[in-house]
Amino acid sequence: MHRRPKTILRRAAALVGAVLLLASCEFVDEAVLPAATGTAPGSSGQAGVPLGNTNFSPPGVTNFNSTGTAVGDRTQELRDQLLGLQKQIIEENTQLQALRANARNSAAYYHGLVAGINARLQVGTTPGNPELVQQWTEAQGELERVNQSISQMNVLLNDSAANAALAGYLLEAITATFQVRGAVDADHAQLAVLQDETTKTAVVIDRLRGELTDDIARATNYVGQERSNLTALSVAIDNGEYMGQSLSTLTSGVPAPAPAGGGASLVGQRQPLVVIRFDRPNVDYEAILYSAVSQALERRPNAGFDLVAVAPAGGNAAANAQRARRYAEQVLRSLTNMGLPADRVSLSATSSNQVGVDEVHVYVR
């Protein structure tokens, strides 16, 4: 298998020729390239999709002897309806357990694929390795199967609303039947048993719906997070080396607002976290950018970032500014692909007599 040059040598060359990581920034401790740390990309640290384990079983329905009264006949009718309701609950529980099993199986296979990809990336591989691209595509498919299970859970939740309504109706009907004249003592005794069993059935329905709602919410968050991690993983595959977890997992809180007019006013006034010099085609900056930004977020999870396109002041100023802005937009796409929320980043542009090539400065706020 063809391997890339050793990561440290390649990064050192990138540092000299293309990317300057400024060690004196308050977020960077040493004048060396920061190593990527944390959970592997494509993995949120979850052992699997977070779903409940409860098996929902209705309490059963007691057989009643006919009393020959109108109330007794009505009680039998209500009993038959409760029996049908409990059969529906059993069917819904069977569907729920099957959906949970499918989601867990897909999630387990997904995490296995991601672990295999990360193992290859950590030792280094070729950029855009087609084998890893294929595994990534399979992982994406498994995650989509988890999402399909969530969609079917939503359908099941909607269907279960009819059961909850029927349980409520039966309880009201039983209460009303107690008031009907012409009942014997056995009728009221059977109605009391039926009322208890209907109440217990309603509790089972409420618990099923509650846990199903929790499953949907947790699993939806899980899929959203793993989609973000898959996006970050695709960047690592494109680079052919391990980077780290999705930047979205490192963020929390509300970032400070961007400076008025963006970060352009910071150029020459503050030292940036990273300066990317676009002095040649295909500048390889993503690994260093990821390391710097992830370390900043580890220290300050509510940090925001200001990207500034800095163009040379001489020559065709308009063309220079347009070209530099395109580079800044490229860096912005890289950050969002790494999982950094778009609302954490501002983009602005300026020109300077102090630069000879297009640069993108990254500031922390």
Give me the residue spans of the domains in the chain.
7-38+247-364, 70-239
State residue 22's pLDDT score.
Answer: 41
Domain 7-38+247-364 fold: 60s Ribosomal Protein L30; Chain: A; (3.30.1330)
Output the six-digit token pair for 343: 């609302």
**Intervals of the chain under pLDDT 50:** 1-46
pTM, two decimals, is: 0.73
Going by their DSSP bridges, the two strands 19-21 and 345-352 should be labelled as unpaired
Report how far residue 340's alpha carbon sits from residue 294's, in angstroms, rounded to the nearest whole number: 9
Handedness of CA 161, 163, 166, 170 (dihedral sign): negative
Report how far residue 66's alpha carbon sits from residue 63's, in angstroms, rounded to the nearest whole number: 10
State residue 38's pLDDT score.
Answer: 31
Handedness of CA 264, 266, 271, 274 (dihedral sign): negative
Segment 176-193, tens digit of pLDDT: 999 999 999 999 999 999
Report how far residue 280's alpha carbon sits from residue 341's, in angstroms, rounded to the nearest whole number: 29
State residue 65's pLDDT score.
Answer: 92
User: Half-sphere exposure (CA, 13 Å, Cβ side) for 258?
Assistant: 19
State residue 289's pLDDT score.
Answer: 96
| Nearest Cα residue to 347 out of 250, 334, 285, 26 | 334
Report how far residue 33's alpha carbon sits from residue 12's, in angstroms, rounded to the nearest whole number: 8
Segment 286-330, tens digit of pLDDT: 989 999 999 999 999 999 999 999 999 988 999 999 999 999 999
Report how far residue 99's alpha carbon sits from residue 158's, in angstroms, rounded to the nearest whole number: 15
